[in-house]
């Protein structure tokens, strides 16, 4: 994790999941009302240290305006950002020649931290990663110029897929460790993000069945049926229906659904519903 506990190393922190929030090193929350300025700050923050030409930034957010007006709007947005960040002794904005960047030593983001943690393999790291993902990337900041939208939407989808993968891996680890309640919470969070991921529904059914929670497993099947119909307009596939019948026949057997020991493995790495139901 990035170190912001030492006051001498305190950084500006940007929250980019679920919207945008600016937390100054001293703890205050800064306000940046203009949506264009918010979008510009977020774009610079995703890759701190990477310089961007002013012409590129002007075209990104003011593509419909004449070039001179777009450059003027960019200058105004940069002034608003500098005022919001308010660190005259240690400026966060790096403006060199005709380029603009954010100083990577002075800023940290939840997105950067999420990406770093999601690449790790421990349950602790994955738990921290998924805890950071509390909403879509820059949620509510859409509706900008087309060039910005063409950057935003793939980036949002990429981070969403990373979150689904991290949740799947965390569920696999929790299921393997037989940690029922944490695994159920993780699976339900995954299904809240991607209700049509059929493999996740099956994995949760098997987990419930393995722990003798037959009723919960059967209810999960009904949740699966409704989600697949709503999301994809399709019924469950043969494997899911066979599992349901197996659980129905298993009254009184706490170890029904013998494949339940592989519940997490079956879900880990499974594709999202946009590619395949599972």
pLDDT in tens, 167-187: 999 999 999 998 999 999 999
Instruction: Write phi, then psi, for 145 (nearest 5 degrees).
Output: -60, 155
Cβ-based neighbours of 78, under 8 Å, separated by 6 or more = 40, 93, 95, 100
Domains and CATH numbers, the chain: 1-177 (1.10.10.10), 179-278 (1.25.40)
Dihedral pair phi/psi, residue 151, rounded to 5°:
-85, -45
> Residue 96 is inside which H or E element, if any?
strand 93-96
Inter-residue contact 183 to 265 (CB < 8 Å): no
d(CA 38, CA 152): 13
- 38 and 20 Cβ atoms separated by less than 8 Å: yes
Distance CA 276, CA 203 (A): 16
The pTM of this model reads 0.85
Instruction: Provide the pLDDT for residue 251.
Output: 76
| Tens digit of each residue's pLDDT (9 = 90 or more) over 206-254 | 999 999 999 999 999 999 999 999 999 999 999 999 999 999 998 755 5
> Which residue would you say has higher pLDDT here, 57 or 269?
57
Residue 13 in 3-state DSSP?
strand
20-60 pLDDT tens trace: 999 998 888 999 999 999 999 999 999 999 999 999 999 99
């Amino acid at each position: 994790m990035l170190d912001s506990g030492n006051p001498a190393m305190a950084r500006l922190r940007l929250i980019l999941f679920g919207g945008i929030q600016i937390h100054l090193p001293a703890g205050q929350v800064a306000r940046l009302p203009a949506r264009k300025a918010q979008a510009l700050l977020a774009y610079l923050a995703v890759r701190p240290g990477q310089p961007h030409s002013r012409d590129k930034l002007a075209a990104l957010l003011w593509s419909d305006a004449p070039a001179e007006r777009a450059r003027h709007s960019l200058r105004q947005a940069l002034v608003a950002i500098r005022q919001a960040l308010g660190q005259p002794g240690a400026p966060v904005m790096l403006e060199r020649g005709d380029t603009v960047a954010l100083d990577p030593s002075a800023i940290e983001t939840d997105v950067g931290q999420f990406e770093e943690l999601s690449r790790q393999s421990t349950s602790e790291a994955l738990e921290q990663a998924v805890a950071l993902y509390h909403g879509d990337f820059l949620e509510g900041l859409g509706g900008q110029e087309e060039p910005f939208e063409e950057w935003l939407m793939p980036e949002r989808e990429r981070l969403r897929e990373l979150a689904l993968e991290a949740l799947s891996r965390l569920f696999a680890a929790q299921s393997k460790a037989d940690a029922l309640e944490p695994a159920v919470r993780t699976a339900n969070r995954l299904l809240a993000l991607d209700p049509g991921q059929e493999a996740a529904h099956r994995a949760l059914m098997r987990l419930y069945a393995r722990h003798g929670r037959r009723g919960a497993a059967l209810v999960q099947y009904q949740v699966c049926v409704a989600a697949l119909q709503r999301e994809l307009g399709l019924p469950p596939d043969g494997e899911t229906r066979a599992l349901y019948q197996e659980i129905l026949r298993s009254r009184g057997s706490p170890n029904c659904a013998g494949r339940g020991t592989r519940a997490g493995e079956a879900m880990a790495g499974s594709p999202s519903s946009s590619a395949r139901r599972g």
